[in-house]
Structure 1
Amino acid sequence: MPETPLGAFLRARRRLAPVQAGTAGTRRRTPGLRREEVAVRAGISADYYARLEQGRQRVPTGPVLDGLAEALMLAAPERAYLHRLAHRQRPPAPDAPEPAAVPAATLALLGTLTEVPAFVTGPRFDLLACNPRADALLATPMARPVHERNLLWQVFCCPYAAAAPDNLAPDGWIGADLVAGLRAHHADRPADRPLAALVGQLERWSPAFAALWAQHRAGPPRRGRLSVPAPAEDPGTFEYTVLSLPEADQHLFMLVGPDRS
């Protein structure tokens, strides 16, 4: 039976360290929780859990999903992602529309942010607009070929960004945050072919992206750290925050820094 998105997610998150879940043992051949341990913690049978992982159990109930979320110690965004995966029985949404133009009001807002780098991204983290400070910091991304006008490409694939390995760290840095955001968007649009093509390209081009994608973490981009290497205009480590805009799937990133400590 072919792998299902729900089964892939459960298998990935079962790799939670047993010591974190209170089931540490002295002799374990593989890291993570066993199926039986997840089932006990979730209050379901081991056979039922195995059917979920193998895609043989179609629609688990809400209480079962909540039990699995507790068993796997999922954060709130990942709980929501789990529920979306499990109830994807409706017809899949079509391809996401091509990014809408950035409204004049948003461009005006970018123009007022003269003290910090700021930029707007679309649903696949395509770069749609930058203020002058962000344009200088990211080495004029809007003048590059289309496939390079993407924040994920900038972080994971750009040779210039390869000098900033901190961005690819698992927690607290922009790479993991972007991958979780892309995964959450993917859950709502499993049939989005341009999105699937982007994921496939990034998996081929960047082992770091492939490793983070395989973790199945999901959630909207929020805040974290971005390391910008020399010879940028203002290299260093920036703190960033992300605001959702009224336009569908557009986000405003604002950077503060660099941290000279």
Structure 2
Amino acid sequence: MTARRDELAAFLRAARERVRPEDVGLPALGRRRTPGLRRQEVAELAAVSIDWYVRLEQGRVGTPGSAVLDGIAAALLLSPAERVHLHLIARGEAPPQPHVPAPLSGSLRALLNGMPLLPAYVMDFRFDILACNAAASALFGPEFGHGRLSNTARMLFLEPEARETNLDWAAFSREMVGNLRVNQARHPDDPHLAELIAELRAASAEFAAWWDDQHVHERSRGTKRFRHATAGTLTVAYDMLAALDGSDQRLFVLTLADEPSERALRTLVTAHATALANAV
């Protein structure tokens, strides 16, 4: 135990010293007695108290939870091999295998594509977009669901355009933070979810503040306003429908709240379909 405690302390110190503040989105203010991150900064990035983190470095916290260790691994930008090593020296066992989302069922995909005039997409508990229909692509653009636009939480907090186009950004984003806290409780050992939360805490002051106030919210329906570059302001109602097959997937459907919005969306969908047909 003593040897493992000493190894943990040495490993965490070395990992801290090689991460620069700017690597994790923090300002490099003032002179530092040692290179890399301070303990306080690691604690904030990993969403733990500074006292607890200091005790962890000293090997005085018993057996830490795997989700907490994954938050620290994300804060310290550890590689997959280093993450496993951290678990082994801190817990005495390898981390649990990450949750592998169930593949999108054929019936759910058919339902998605069977709504040609209603923008809809399927997400998992990490808010990763698993699939979207043509109406969603028409409304949000062809990149929606791919690359930097493949996770709706990242989009809301890290993409400036999302803040500008969502006219009810603050209320909608705060709901998402509360929903992420619910999902974390359901999947406490999922490393990708822990990495997402650590990333958003480091990159967004609003996310960090709302996360720290312990707000819990299971979003299922509501109304929001959306500003589109060509269609103008659209008022939409949204419903999040849970799949009952144990996959923890959600079907997110938008319906238009007024006739002008419905006409504008119909125009967008028609133009999108025409563009696709001409591209073939």
Please classify the TM superposition score into its range, dividing by the shorter chain length: 0.5 to 0.7
CA distance, structure 1, for counterparts of residue 244 and residue 128 of structure 2: 17
Give the alignment partner of residue 205 of structure 1, picking from 187, 203, 206: 203
Q: Give deviations 1:191-233, integer Å, cap 9, x for gaps.
A: 3221111011112222222222222222332112333222165
What is the alpha-carbon distance in structure 2 between the residues aligned to residue 134 and residue 235 of structure 1?
Answer: 16
Quote the offset at 1:153 in angstroms. Answer: 1.6
1:77-111 Cα distance to aligned partner (Å, 9 max, x none): xxxxxxxxxxxxxxxx9465132221110010011
What is the identity, as a one-letter code, of the residue corresponding to 2:111?
A: L
**For residue 253 of structure 2, what is the amino acid of its counterpart?**
M
Q: Which residue of 1 aligns with 2:150?
A: 149
Looking at structure 2, the residues matched to 232 and 124 of structure 1 have their Cα atoms a distance apart, in angstroms, of 31
Report the CA distance shift for 1:128/1:234 in structure 2 as closer, same or farther (over 3 A). farther
The one-letter code matched in structure 2 to 1:161 is A
Find the aligned partners of 1:176 and 1:161 in 2 and give their Cα distance.
14
Q: Name the structure where helix makes up a greater proportion of residues.
A: 2
Is this contact kept in 1: 2:236–2:256, CA < 8 A? yes
TM-superposed deviation, 1:112: 1.4
Please tell me whether residue 254 in structure 1 is matched to residue 256 in structure 2.
no
What letter corresponds to residue 175 of structure 1 in structure 2?
S
Aligned match of 1:48:
none
* Distance in structure 2 (CA, Å) of the matches to 1:240 and 1:130: 15
- Alpha-carbon separation, structure 1, partners of 2:131 and 2:188: 27
Query: 1:8-36 deviations in whole A, cap 9, x for unaligned?
Result: 9xxxxxxxxxxxxxxxxxxxxxxxxxxxx
How far apart, CA to CA, are the structure 2 residues paired with 1:96 and 1:221? 25
The corresponding residue for 1:169 is 170
CA distance in 2, matches of 1:181, 1:202: 14
- The 8 Å contact of residues 110 and 119 in structure 1, kept in 2 or not, is answered as yes
Query: Which has the higher Rg, Structure 1 or Structure 2?
Result: 2
Counterparts of residues 3-42 of structure 1 (less than 5 Å): none
Residue identity matched to 2:216: A
Alpha-carbon deviation of 1:126?
0.5
Cα distance between partner residues in 2 of 1:123 and 1:95: 16
DSSP 3-state at the match of 1:195:
helix
Q: 1:184 aligns with which of 182, 193, 204?
A: 182
Letter of the 2:249 counterpart: Q
Distance change >3 Å, CA 100–CA 223, structure 1 → 2 = same
RMSD in angstroms over aligned alpha carbons?
A: 3.2
Q: CA deviation at 1:117?
A: 0.7
Q: CA separation in 1, counterparts of 2:231 and 2:204? A: 26
Counterparts in 2 of 1:128 and 1:226: CA distance versus 1, 3 Å: farther
- Structure 1 unaligned regions, length at least 5: 9-92
1:106-121 matches, cutoff 5 A: 106-121=108-123
> What is the one-letter code of the residue matched to 1:155?
L
Return the alpha-carbon distance in structure 1 between the equivalents of residues 230 and 200 of structure 2. 24
SS in structure 1 opposite 2:184?
helix
Deviation at 1:176, TM superposition (A): 2.3
Question: Equivalent residue for 1:101?
Answer: 103
Give the Cα separation in 2 of the matches to 1:193 and 1:137. 32
Letter in 2 for 1:138: F
Q: Is the 8 A contact 2:240 2:253 kept in 1?
A: yes
8 Å Cα contact 1:229/1:235 also seen in 2? yes
2-side partners of 1:95 and 1:213: how far apart?
26
Conserved 8 A contact 2:166-2:226: no
Report SS of the residue matched to 1:227: strand
Q: Is the CA contact 2:129–2:145 (under 8 Å) kept in the aligned structure 1?
A: no
Which has the larger displacement, 186-195 or 249-258?
186-195
Which amino acid letter does the alignment assign opposite residue 108 of structure 1? A
